[in-house]
Structure 1
Amino acid sequence: MNEDTGPLDDIHRGGRDLGERLSAQMARLDAGGLTRLDHPLLTVAISAPETGGVILAGRLAPETHPWLTDHRVSDTVLLPGTAHVDLALRAGAEIGFPVLARLVHEVPLAVPAHGAVQLQVVVGERTGAGTRPVRIWSRPEGAADAVWMRHASGELTASDLAAADDLGEWPPPEATPLAVDGGHERLRAVGSRSGSGLRAAWRYRDDLYAEVELPDAAHGDPAAFGIHPALLDAVLQVGLLGAGAEAVAFPVAWNTVVLRAAGAIRLRVRLTYPAADRIGITAADHTGQPVLTVASLATRPASGRGPDAQIGESALFAVQWSPMTTIGPVVDPEVVHIYGPDDLELIEADCAPPAIVAGVEPAAAGTTPARGQENTVAARRLVEGWLARPDLVESRLVLVTRRAVSVGEHDHADLAVAPVWELVRAAQAANPDRIVLLDTDAAPDEDIAGPLLARAMASGETELAIRGAELLAPRPVPLSGGIRDAPGHPPARTPARHRTA
């Protein structure tokens, strides 16, 4: 201590010196092209000049994020999969790609009881379909030679946001109240100790409605999140109501996630079920104004074996095309068949059908790249022409391709047609539930009609394939092996959604 000053003076001087050093360090970060972030899990962002993307970095530890301890599976603390959604949305907002077109969970992120985890969210180069890939990585802090592990991958899009339903009339007048305790016990039965934010619930017809609230332990700074992971986790708990214990399911793949308002603490929620293993989510604030929408969330049954059977090698998922075995009531659909973008003019304004089945005729001549360009241009003209018709807003577009996807080991995709699916997926993200991709192995002069088309329309799926007389849909399945490559570099093996170009 300085003899000419008191202890408080030394403390104040030390505080000023520390503040000056921190300011100088942050100034050097700014000069190096780093942007400081106010997100609770992410600290800085840096632009990637070669790709036009961005890398967001942060740190995760129980002492700085105590709400994490409420998310346990068999006594192992895991970062909720809902946090991956918020991280990806934040990265997309950073570069003007606010819609999460899809996100697939690959490996759970275990949080150590002591120490911390480094995070990186990497957004890559813009694709020909107008999307950007997004990847979420982690490695233990303090181990410079530790390998990075990839936990989730997906796509972001800058497409315009489709309108969302509000939940102003609350709860629905004819809804039946449900007890909320059963869902919590089903979670415990499969080894999960997730905190509960579920406050009330109702059922109306086939839909579930609920009120959820951010648990007290997570109230630190909800406004800094787009959607707090603990709050979105409470939304998923609504799906446990009314189902048997064997029906407990965990999220695998998110499709078309749109954040419409940030920092919510309480939500009104509606869950719909377009398919047996798919959930549609609409979340609103206490006035009914939209906060978050999810076109569909694919789930898988909980094994109850604990995280040791899920973390690491066995927690990687790929997509497998499986036969559609359970479909709701099937009725003959009222459809109009067209064979190219010019045929849209033949549909009269006052005679809009419930569905338009449109074929994309594969280009027959030229190199594969030239044929691919011709096919994607034709598909783009068709989709843009259909979207430009306000009288067709209530019609669904069923876009039929021929061998655009591979549905099995010996089923080979036409690489000149495969890009059509990537292009149309961007349009699906901006127009939920309005476009169906239907791939077939039929001859070019064969129309898709009859029972197969009726089953496809009744399935509620947005991606389907017909092989012979069988209707197939993509489903996530466990894949042995893990991904442990550095972020920003191509992995040694990626869990492809569809094995196409």
Structure 2
Amino acid sequence: TTFLELGPDAALTPMIEGILTDDVTVVPSLRRGHDEQRQALTALAKLHVTGITVDWTALLPQAGRAVDLPTYPFQRQRYWQRASTSDGDLGAVGVDAARHPLLGAAVTLAGSDSTVLTGRLSVHSQPWLADHVVGGAILLPGTGFVELALSAGGQVGCDALTELVLEAPLVVPERGGVTVQVLLGAADETGSRPVTVHSRDGGPDQPWTRHATGTVAPATRPPSFDLAAWPPPGAAPVDLTGRYDAQAAAGLAYGPAFQGLRAAWTAGDQVYAEVALPAGDGADDGYRMHPALLDACLQAVGLDTAQVGPVRLPFAFSGVTVTVPDATTVRVRITPAGDGVRLDIADAAGLPVASVDTLTLRELSAAQLAAGRPDPLYRLAWQPAGTVDAPPVRWAAWEDVRDDVPEVVVLRSEPGRDAAAVHRATHRALEHVQTWLADDRYARSTLLVATRGAVAVTDEEAPDLAGAGVWGLVRSAQSEQPGRIVLA
């Protein structure tokens, strides 16, 4: 029931498969047009997984160690080790390790009390970022800026985020990455420090974009509330079926990493919710509160209304405190607070984990989203040609050239759209080009072949067939005799 075809190509494999159709494995050792080594290894691997014993020691004679792979299909659980964001000896280049999943290095500026923390965001290093898509673009969630500010402040003893205002979205490219900097200014008399978050997509010649500004301060008193009674007595459950699909249709697409809203209830103007970080997305220790988890808490805002409204994203935070880091499952209570809402976040026992005094949401316009996108690598734009001050050039039509050959000789091609016109135009162009190249009188002149409509400028235009034929012919002549002929 198993056949290995030895030969230069898979000539017999399809015949055998066509005759023996029931429970048969046919493996060609080589295939025409394929790399021989890769194809041979592929054949051995296919035999191996179908139950044939392969002597791997003949292929790999060196001493090695066998590693068992999972026996289940790969799903969303990562098996291979993640790339570290802080590899190498940073002290050797004069900076300190930030020891955070989003921030790799920190440096204190000489002559001041300011500190700069830097890191690089990418879908490769932080795969969960790809699950936050707004208007077709991958955005760092607003909770990501909160995490950056809190973690940076924690480096200098400022564990509370007094305020944070988001000014521009941060678009994460699908390939490559974006550099982020968190700048902590000098402390005032109360110990508070200004904080800003900038990003730059590309090399050192690219400009920085400021995304958020705020203030961090030393923590004063921890939040005090009790969510032990759960679900809240008298609260009405909220049906969450289809909510993520409705949000995606409105322009906010949450992938699995951000689909952490598990259950919700309403009681008057308050909303209660259970939120959990999906398995595998909290493996990176070091977060104050994982941005995907805090974002899922924010998703409960507005659940007291029946319908999903326009996409609203975090605009401003005030009074953010995290007392228990690295939480993966929480309870949240949302209460109206002025123009925004207050969030009380507790663990599974109802004890405080974090709190947000005020959160304000705003709609994100298409213009704001476009402003946050990096410029495309390629673009098409019409530029005015202007005029050139140059001395007059002597020129003449081909038919008017006599013994005194001018600097430029113009050969005009007649337009046409049938086969006969194409033949006439190309034969005429060929005859004159051959004469031009063979006659020494033209050695110091330039032949200008002029057509009309031979090249389409817009997608709606249909090129002139005779002119297009002349262009093809003359371009071949140009490649053989560079600098002698010009097409216009």
Q: 2:294 aligns with which of 207, 225, 232?
A: 232
Q: 1:74 aligns with which of 132, 135, 141?
A: 135
Sequence identity, in percent? 38
Q: Does 1:176 align with 2:236?
A: yes
1:53 touches 1:124 (CA, 8 Å); kept in 2? yes
Q: Does 1:167 align with 2:167?
A: no
1:33 touches 1:47 (CA, 8 Å); kept in 2? no
1:142-157 matches, cutoff 5 A: 143-157=203-217
1:282 touches 1:293 (CA, 8 Å); kept in 2? yes
2:223 touches 2:354 (CA, 8 Å); kept in 1? no
Q: Does 1:295 align with 2:395?
A: no
2:194 touches 2:215 (CA, 8 Å); kept in 1? yes
Change (3 A) 1:302 1:158: same
Q: Does 1:250 align with 2:313?
A: yes
Q: Distance in 2 between matches of 1:241 and 1:201?
A: 8
| Displacement of 1:294 | 0.3
Q: Distance in 1 between matches of 2:320 and 2:145?
A: 12
Aligned to 1:50: 111
Change (3 A) 1:308 1:90: closer
2:133 touches 2:252 (CA, 8 Å); kept in 1? yes
TM-score by structure 1 length?
0.54
Deviations 1:417-461 (A, max 9, x none): xxxxxxxxxxxxxxxxxxxxxxxxxxxxxxxxxxxxxxxxxxxxx
Q: Does 1:279 align with 2:341?
A: yes
Higher relative contact order (CA closer than 8 Å, sequence separation 6+): 1
1:59 touches 1:119 (CA, 8 Å); kept in 2? yes
TM-score by structure 2 length?
0.55
SS in 2 for 1:224: coil
Change (3 A) 1:34 1:248: same
SS in 1 for 2:253: coil
Q: Distance in 2 between matches of 1:310 and 1:234?
A: 26
Aligned to 2:165: 104
| Displacement of 1:136 | 0.8
| Displacement of 1:274 | 1.5
Q: Distance in 2 between matches of 1:165 and 1:123?
A: 31
2:171 touches 2:373 (CA, 8 Å); kept in 1? no
Q: Does 1:37 align with 2:98?
A: yes
Amino acid at match of 1:160: T
Amino acid at match of 1:288: G
Q: Distance in 1 between matches of 2:193 and 2:363?
A: 30
2:250 touches 2:310 (CA, 8 Å); kept in 1? no
SS in 1 for 2:252: coil
1:53 touches 1:95 (CA, 8 Å); kept in 2? no
5+ residue gaps, structure 2: 1-60, 65-83, 375-488
2:168 touches 2:368 (CA, 8 Å); kept in 1? no
Change (3 A) 1:163 1:265: closer
Amino acid at match of 1:168: A
1:183 touches 1:241 (CA, 8 Å); kept in 2? no
Change (3 A) 1:311 1:262: same
Deviations 1:16-42 (A, max 9, x none): xxxxxx9xx944x32554222331111
Q: 1:265 aligns with which of 328, 351, 361?
A: 328
Q: 2:179 aligns with which of 77, 102, 118?
A: 118
Q: Does 1:211 align with 2:291?
A: no
Q: Distance in 2 between matches of 1:152 and 1:201?
A: 31
1:92-491 matches, cutoff 5 A: 92-128=153-189, 130-141=191-202, 143-181=203-241, 183-195=243-255, 196-216=259-279, 218-221=281-284, 223-243=285-305, 244-246=307-309, 248-275=311-338, 277-303=339-365, 305=366, 308-309=369-370, 311=372
| Displacement of 1:288 | 1.2
Change (3 A) 1:247 1:115: closer
SS in 2 for 1:239: coil
| Displacement of 1:56 | 1.0
1:186 touches 1:248 (CA, 8 Å); kept in 2? no
Deviations 1:93-141 (A, max 9, x none): 1000111000000111101111111111110111355420001111124
Q: Distance in 1 between matches of 2:364 and 2:93?
A: 45
| Displacement of 1:302 | 4.8
2:269 touches 2:304 (CA, 8 Å); kept in 1? no
Change (3 A) 1:245 1:26: closer
5+ residue gaps, structure 1: 1-5, 10-21, 314-501
Q: Count how many residue pairs are aligned between Structure 1 and Structure 2.
A: 289
Q: Distance in 2 between matches of 1:40 and 1:53?
A: 22
